[in-house]
Structure 1
Amino acid sequence: MDKKQLSERDICTKFITPAIEQAGWDIHKQVREEVSFTKGRIIVRGKLHSRGESRRADYILYHKPNLPIAVIEAKDNKHTVGHGIQQALAYAEALDVPFVFSSNGDGFLFHDRSDTGTQKETHLSLAQFPSPDELWQRYCQWKGLRGDAQQKVEAPYYDDGSGRMPRYYQTNAINRTVEAVARGQDRILLVMATGTGKTYTAFQIIWRLWKSKQKKRILFLADRNILVDQTRNNDFKPFGQAMTKISKRQIDTSYEVYLSLYQAVTGNDEERNVYKQFSPDFFDLVVIDECHRGSAAEDSAWREILEYFKNATHVGLTATPKETKEVSSITYFGEPVYSYTLKQGIEDGFLAPYKVVRIDFDRDLQGWRPPKGMVDKNGQLIEDRIYNLQDMDRTLVIEARTQLVAQKVTEFLKATDPMQKTIIFCDDINHAERMREALVNLNPQQVAKNRKYIMRITGDELEGKAELDNFIDPENPYPVIATTSKLMTTGVDAQTCKLVVLDQHIKSMTEFKQIIGRGTRINEEHNKFWFTIMDFKKATELFADPAFDGEPVVIYSPDGGEPPVPPEDPTKEGDGVTAGGTGSGDVEPEPEEGQKRVKYVIDNLTISVIGERVMYYGPDGKLITESLHDYTRTCVKKQYASLDDFLRHWGTAEQKKAIIDELASQGVLWEALAEEVEKKRGATLDPFDLICHIVFDQPPLTRKERAEQVKKRNYFTKYQGEARQVLEALLEKYADTGIEHIEDIKILRLDPFRSLGSPVELLNAFGGKPGYQQAIQQLEQALYDASNGAA
């Protein structure tokens, strides 16, 4: 047998798997092959989308089903033993495993990522593959797990029999937390981006600690009633009769898992007695959801609960650790044991990418000064000074501005999908009501269909607040548009929200992250794969702040001394974000306690748009703010140095779709590019012509023009009957929808092809599938022939 003639899969079957099995690994329980652990980044193209490649490990080895400890990357025997080691190391880093192997069937290159090995890389024969016990003991040594701690971390996940397993990053978070508890750590922080399943992760942590009897009584704290109810009815449901929700009355101490609102156990003295009905040592685990909020502040009522149950292990969950001069999540909980960012979530395909529509108004940027002695709509004398963006809807209400925001939102919805779930973040409840009213008047037909098309959902109004459940329910179409202030900022699981509108002065990075998180969830069943952010108050400038997706910096000073200045921007206050987004770092001082902010209402001032631009989420996780043409040139020229190079690859590619998808994964934004060129030329260009025209300055042809050129050359004369009809129909399809669709053989199941015959009959007209594929390639060659336009 010549190994060099075997495929990679054959090498696995004949050499690698037997070597693993011979070393004592249970192939059915401890070894998984070809494990895709990400979903592939979502690439948006017009109203369609595709996914990039998922990351797939050839082998993952487990001590227990919940404890991965090694990865193996396999290559065929034409490669060296260590050829796959760098790929395997990247997988191991993501999967949080210490032991990494590469093999070509001759042996293994073993890389030890733990700090326990004296030699990082070792060559092993097939017979020298380490046993499960050997790697497990080295793993425990690396993690600092001694004595009974080793047994504690082996506690299994909850398994409902459906086959659902935690995603790889959830596994990392769960294992890091359980291991920290097993080592005796009593303050633990987990940082996971909104939409990545913090509550499910918390459930699995609690389940493993509860089932193994490490933690017998657990308190789960959240700050919204809807979050407690969602948790109880969904992720925590398996706790069944062992679980209860705490209310403001006599406590029943016979349960083991307690869910509670912070507010339900704090407040006046009588309410505080609720949690004091428990003994201080009653709970041995307290899990705090959204722990960046009240529990981060030393003087908050919420912190009192944690202090009362201080002997318990405290696990904090948040997407946004709060780090200000007054408050610090990290000072209380310690450095995060695990972090999973928005950027990672988008890259892995678990979170939705976004595009930003930034709209600037003249009065916001240029400022406005009232004529001397001018009074507002309510007869108040307007203070004589210059009002700009930071004043809008705070000290100055321009009714025409509210109307224009509502108009731009309405135009966007009508041009895309009027029924897409939309959240509009306003500065206060009054602003949210004015926005609701403006939208109602601009959308009379939709409101006539259902009065709940637009609802104000704020904490002060019961009817609107009651619609929150319906808004976040993917199965309920109404309400469609929610105007809000603070109520929907955090913890609202709006899976199908496709439009987030920012007309709010966002004061902190924490708040900004939480608001952006309202759109990041994916719901494939309801075709939610990406979302749009409309920004009217320059809030999205915060995407450029290193703190947006970076590590939090502790600037809190618990001893009362002078706190260090945050390194990124010493001019910014609080969480490092200015109120107005003016770039000056100036924050308008809040009114003195007991005073009400003066707010002028102007009903006779015009306002207009002076700038509108679209920015896209790039492959590096940053917004693309340069010219789309320049950005495309840069992306393509990394791949193809010259026009000849591009033409050669395009001409020899068996499927043009492969090049289109490859360029998309490298950062070419086909959707945006096509929209921009179409606006200028009034016609749709093929990806080939987009590249030739924008990157290499060639005169382009439209798809229709390319199709006409092929017809003029009488290309179809060599085909007769059904074959000719199929090719003529394919050419029309190309002119309508592009090259990718005609390359997909499934097109034969659609009209007009099915009226010509079944797919099998149509393939037979070309002498079978190979003949059909050859005809497609010849058709593509005719479309992109050197004498045909840009080519």
Structure 2
Amino acid sequence: MSPPDEAHRLAAEQRARVLIDQQLEAAGWVVQDKKDLNLFAGPGIAVREVVMKPGHGRVDYLLYVDKAVVGVIEAKPQGTPLSGVEWQSAMYAEGLPADVRLKALTTDGRLPFVFEASGGETHFTNGFDPEPRARAIFNFPRPGTLARTIRAANEDPDTATWRGRIRNLPELDTAPLRPSQITAINGIEKSLAEQRFDRSLVQMATGAGKTYTAVTQSYRLLKWGGFNRILFLVDRNNLAEQTLAEFQNYRTPDDGRRFTELYNVAKLNHGGMPDSTKVAISTIQRVFKVLKSEQVPEGDDQGIDDFVPDAPVEVAYNPDLPPEAFDLVIVDEAHRSIYGVWRRVLEYFDAHVVGLTATPGKQTFGFFRQNLVSEYTYPQSVADGVNVDFDIYRIKTEISEQGSTIEAGTIVPKVDRRTRVERLEELDEDLEYTGKQLDRAVTAKAQIRLVLETFRDRLYTEIFPGRSTVPKTLIFAKDDAHAEEIVTTVREVFGKGNDFAAKITYNARDPKRQLQAFRTSPTLRFAVTVDMIATGTDVKPLECVFFMRDVRSAQYFEQMKGRGARTIDKATFQGVTPDAENKTRFVIVDAVGVTEHEYVEPPLNRDKSISLKQLLDKAATLNLTEAETATLASRLSALEAQLAPAERTELDSVAGQPLRTIVRALVDAVDPDRQAKQVEVGGSIQDLLDAAIEPIAANPDLRTRIIELRRAHDRVIDEVSADTLVDAYGVVDTDRAKATIESWKAYLEEHRAEITAIQVIQESKERRIAFPDIQELADRISRPPYNWTPDFIWDAYVALGATYRGSRGTRTRHSLTDLVSLLRYTVGVDDELVPYADRVQEKYVAWLSQQEQGGIMFSDTERWWLDRMVAIIAASAGITADDLDEAPFIERGGVDGALRDLGDGAGDLLEQLNQELTA
């Protein structure tokens, strides 16, 4: 009879085996006793209590896959430290009896798959990994999973798992990537190869292209890294569509095909995934529901995607979505509570977890084991021209600061939160409320109105001096009712209609359409939201982020702030805000004191009272303070964004390096982490500042050119001087026109080697001139001493009697693409002046006729797309797939709509139009 302790141990181990049996069976294994051995009972057989060769004891479970032995399981009572029994399972793996059929052996003669399990915990060592090491897994893998690994091992044992293949990835194609994206991808792949951690964290400033980075990384891992499937977690389900579009639009660097032509990408729905799915997109809440085998609706559902449980969730094994379903989990700006209440969902999968975030907190760092593989801060992104800097404008009112009192006996409106039905009620006692209770328990209409009237009255004098169009403004409200009140008041205060301001919340009608209109419509100037546009949603023309609600979370505030940070090209920006030159900053309008929290970092532009010249003069004498160094970085970054390409190239040449490199050094010099490291090694902060300032201090020519360019791009508005008309008449000055044309021809000859557009037109009349090359030429000729525009040169030719054909008179404003027509006429390719748009239209008519002769007829719907593609080509000398996600195409679904209405040949049609109409 066994001693009591031994009997207790045996009973505990027997209980563990009952649990292990259940876990194996759930994963598709057939569990058998040795005496009942039947290798034909299923693809995976787990045989209990098998005697190994002499000296190696009795293994608890011997595992067969496809009738051949592949692994062992050592069972221990619950609570046993499993790392302490690895020697025992290793002994079994090396001690095979003679009567077993081997399927695969690792190079050292051991069975490849070794497990230790207690029913409550399971450890797994894969012998095909380059450095086999036990790791905790949620449940035993399915037999088919091990079979797939064995098949790969038969081809090459060294690359049977992704941990082996990841060490031999091809070199990264850096051409389409920003430096921060390159650093992030290299950091992730280094972490994957080293396998010191099973989690990697990438900190990347909002707007720096986290999703594009993740898509690039996903492609590399699926194609070359041995990864079978990836889970991409988004913050909210409405962002899943945005992420899906990013995958659909991604062109692979090796053969140029779309990602989705090679790999199936789908949103995660009820019932798991098809085997063909390589990237599944979901919120973590939806993954949890799938694991629980609950129904998951396909569309947005705020009740699901915003749900945060009161306590951490627990998960159970689901054979439709087993732990090995994903090799990689990418967490892209997931909900801030993800690493607390949702942690078990992430830990369910036997996968490497990569976190992408602009604002990691302590809990984030803790979950990712402090393994920060790449860091890119908001100030660095401003220095690199990825984002713009911001200013803060504070609005305080007495009620918002102190609250108020409504006396007893006052008849007040009360609104039912659920039905929004309003009733009148007399107060039976005084109602005192604080500023913190505003718009939760009490809505003070006068406070909302006063804040918005103040914004209106100061908008063109203090916030955006000299402007006349309301900048695109996003207002954060406390809840849906508060948002409703703000929208109504905005329309009243500005005296505008419904299309001027809209509520974009989950409860609004068709919020996706409204959001797209906010991006592209010149009319819609205000959007009021609660949470829907708080994270991950790009509205690039946005210039005002207006807080009418407080935010306690530093991470959430940074996300909300980041909505205004995006850069945007000049043409697109002016398309929705015509009186703006460039987007060089945005403004946080703070009506609640949110920017007064300790966690809010100041903008780079910290000292507005000092001019750029004063800053440069102080830099020359090495007398800049830390705040002034940051301010200089902000001013130079804003100037750099305004420069024409030729001006930027020239300034970089004067500086002897890219101006952005100098700005980045200034930003790094005021970074607290870098300053701390400087002090640690015995240096001073002043040494750091001086080293960053040196390229400016030691280069007087650079300082002079910066001031010249600043003045060239500044426009003074005279509102006080009166003017008197002297005369007005029209004169054709042929002498001046002749001098202009001679200078123009001489300029083309002199600068042929420098300007791409001139080279192209002189080398081949059939080659297309790309729009950036046209823009380069326009920028160059617009500079002093020439100050030429397409209109000026065109009119000079017409004044000299040039043959003119086209739909427009000589006094009509010509587009930049008409420079192509001028080049063709000047070098003798054409014998008459024809506006570029007219030439494109003529070629389009000819192309349609050619298609018709070939039996191809286009429907009205198809012609809608084609006609508008041609209009873009006429204005931009070409069109790309990205243009299809802008106006006017977005009203019919963008790229997705083009594929729907034009079919799979949409891309071919686009390329054909580019080729046929632009030469």
Q: For the Cα contact (< 8 Å) 2:268–2:280, is it kept in 1?
A: yes
Task: Say yes or no: does 1:280 pair with 2:323.
Answer: yes
Q: Quick one: which of 392, 405, 414 aligns to 1:356?
A: 392
Q: For the Cα contact (< 8 Å) 1:410–1:439, is it kept in 2?
A: no
Q: For the Cα contact (< 8 Å) 2:550–2:594, is it kept in 1?
A: no
Q: For 1:532, give the aligned amino acid.
A: F
Task: Look up the SS of the partner of 2:491 in the other structure.
Answer: helix
Q: CA deviation at 1:208?
A: 1.6
Task: Look up the SS of the partner of 2:359 in the other structure.
Answer: coil
Alignment of 1:457-536 (within 5 A): 457-464=504-511, 466-472=513-519, 474=520, 476-477=521-522, 479-524=524-569, 525-527=571-573, 529-536=583-590
Q: For the Cα contact (< 8 Å) 2:407–2:429, is it kept in 1?
A: no
Q: Deviations over 1:386-422 (max 9, x none)?
A: 7554333234321012122333444538973546432
Q: CA deviation at 1:248?
A: 2.4
Task: Say yes or no: does 1:232 pair with 2:232.
Answer: no
Which residue number in structure 2 is paired with residue 321 of structure 1? 360
Q: Deviations over 1:51-85 (max 9, x none)?
A: xxxxxxxxxxxxxxxxxxxxxxxxxxxxxxxxxxx
Task: Say yes or no: does 1:166 pair with 2:177.
Answer: yes
Q: CA deviation at 1:496?
A: 2.0
Which residue number in structure 2 is paired with residue 453 of structure 1? 500
Q: 1:217 to 1:757 in 2, by over 3 A?
A: closer
Q: 1:757 to 1:466 in 2, by over 3 A?
A: closer
Which residue number in structure 2 is paired with residue 567 of structure 1? none
Q: 1:749 to 1:277 in 2, by over 3 A?
A: closer
Q: Deviations over 1:452-486 (max 9, x none)?
A: 332101112333454224334x4x54643211111
Q: Quick one: which of 784, 796, 801 aligns to 1:744?
A: 784
Which residue number in structure 1 is paired with residue 138 of structure 2? none
Q: For 2:278, give the aligned amino acid.
A: E
Q: 1:757 to 1:498 in 2, by over 3 A?
A: same
Alignment of 1:370-519 (within 5 A): 370-371=406-407, 376-378=412-414, 379=425, 381=427, 387-411=433-457, 412=459, 416=467, 418=469, 420-445=471-496, 447=497, 451-464=498-511, 466-472=513-519, 474=520, 476-477=521-522, 479-519=524-564
Q: Deviations over 1:494-521 (max 9, x none)?
A: 1222222111112211111011110111
Which residue number in structure 1 is paired with residue 670 of structure 2? none
Task: Look up the SS of the partner of 2:200 in the other structure.
Answer: strand
Q: 1:164 to 1:495 in 2, by over 3 A?
A: farther
Give the TM-score of the pair, scaled to structure 2.
0.44
**In structure 2, distance between residues paired with 1:752 and 1:405:** 48
Q: 1:400 to 1:513 in 2, by over 3 A?
A: same
Q: For the Cα contact (< 8 Å) 1:346–1:353, is it kept in 2?
A: yes
Q: 1:341 to 1:670 in 2, by over 3 A?
A: farther
Q: Deviations over 1:248-302 (max 9, x none)?
A: 24532332222223232234944289975111122111111113523222x23xx
Q: 1:191 to 1:462 in 2, by over 3 A?
A: same
Q: Deviations over 1:593-614 (max 9, x none)?
A: xxxxxxxxxxxxxxxxxxxxxx
Q: CA deviation at 1:540?
A: 5.6
**In structure 1, distance between residues paired with 2:593 and 2:781:** 39
Task: Say yes or no: does 1:207 pair with 2:219.
Answer: yes
Q: CA deviation at 1:357?
A: 2.4
Q: For the Cα contact (< 8 Å) 1:249–1:274, is it kept in 2?
A: no
**In structure 1, distance between residues paired with 2:797 and 2:200:** 65
**In structure 2, distance between residues paired with 1:276 and 1:150:** 27
Q: For the Cα contact (< 8 Å) 2:451–2:591, is it kept in 1?
A: no
Q: 1:247 to 1:452 in 2, by over 3 A?
A: farther
Which residue number in structure 1 is paired with residue 344 of structure 2? 304
Q: Deviations over 1:595-637 (max 9, x none)?
A: xxxxxxxxxxxxxxxxxxxxxx5xxx25336xx1599756644
Q: Deviations over 1:635-664 (max 9, x none)?
A: 64444799xxxxxxxxxxxx9999898489
Q: 1:506 to 1:669 in 2, by over 3 A?
A: farther
**In structure 2, distance between residues paired with 1:199 and 1:641:** 41
Which residue number in structure 1 is paired with residue 210 of structure 2? 198
Q: 1:148 to 1:367 in 2, by over 3 A?
A: closer
Q: Quick one: which of 258, 268, 278 aligns to 1:256?
A: 278
Q: For the Cα contact (< 8 Å) 2:162–2:225, is it kept in 1?
A: no
Q: CA deviation at 1:188?
A: 0.8
Which residue number in structure 1 is paired with residue 265 of structure 2? 243
Alignment of 1:86-125 (within 5 A): none
**In structure 1, distance between residues paired with 2:167 and 2:283:** 30
Which residue number in structure 2 is paired with residue 182 of structure 1? 193
**In structure 2, distance between residues paired with 1:224 and 1:313:** 22
Q: CA deviation at 1:336?
A: 1.7
Total equivalences in the alignment: 465
Task: Look up the SS of the partner of 1:337 in the other structure.
Answer: strand
| Larger RCO of the pair (alpha carbons < 8 Å, separation 6+) | 1
Q: For 1:397, give the aligned amino acid.
A: T
Q: For the Cα contact (< 8 Å) 1:375–1:381, is it kept in 2?
A: yes
Task: Look up the SS of the partner of 1:355 in the other structure.
Answer: strand
Q: Quick one: which of 135, 144, 152 aligns to 2:166?
A: 152
Q: For 1:440, give the aligned amino acid.
A: R
Q: CA deviation at 1:364?
A: 3.0
Q: For 1:360, give the aligned amino acid.
A: K
Q: 1:629 to 1:348 in 2, by over 3 A?
A: closer
Q: For 1:319, give the aligned amino acid.
A: A
Q: Deviations over 1:720-768 (max 9, x none)?
A: x979x99xxxxxxxxxxxxx999722425489999899999xxxxxxxx
Q: 1:663 to 1:404 in 2, by over 3 A?
A: farther
More helix per residue: 1 or 2?
Answer: 2
**In structure 2, distance between residues paired with 1:457 and 1:509:** 23
**In structure 1, distance between residues paired with 2:190 and 2:488:** 53
Structure 1 spans left out of the alignment, 5+ residues: 1-146, 550-616, 643-654, 685-703, 705-720, 727-739, 761-791
Task: Say yes or no: does 1:271 pair with 2:291.
Answer: no
**In structure 2, distance between residues paired with 1:496 and 1:275:** 45
Which residue number in structure 2 is paired with residue 574 of structure 1? none
Which residue number in structure 2 is paired with residue 623 of structure 1? 606
**In structure 1, distance between residues paired with 2:428 and 2:793:** 70
Q: CA deviation at 1:167?
A: 0.7
Q: CA deviation at 1:315?
A: 0.6
Q: For 1:219, give the aligned amino acid.
A: L
Which residue number in structure 1 is paired with residue 87 of structure 2? none
Q: For 1:506, give the aligned amino acid.
A: V
Task: Look up the SS of the partner of 1:294 in the other structure.
Answer: coil
**In structure 1, distance between residues paired with 2:558 and 2:586:** 15
Larger radius of gyration: 2
Identical-pair percentage: 25
Task: Look up the SS of the partner of 1:196 in the other structure.
Answer: coil
Task: Look up the SS of the partner of 2:241 in the other structure.
Answer: helix
**In structure 1, distance between residues paired with 2:429 and 2:562:** 38
**In structure 2, distance between residues paired with 1:498 and 1:304:** 40
Q: 1:666 to 1:218 in 2, by over 3 A?
A: farther
Task: Look up the SS of the partner of 2:217 in the other structure.
Answer: helix
**In structure 2, distance between residues paired with 1:495 and 1:204:** 22
Q: For the Cα contact (< 8 Å) 1:251–1:274, is it kept in 2?
A: no
User: What is the RMSD of the two structures over their aligned residues, measured on CA atoms?
Assistant: 4.8
**In structure 2, distance between residues paired with 1:291 and 1:194:** 14
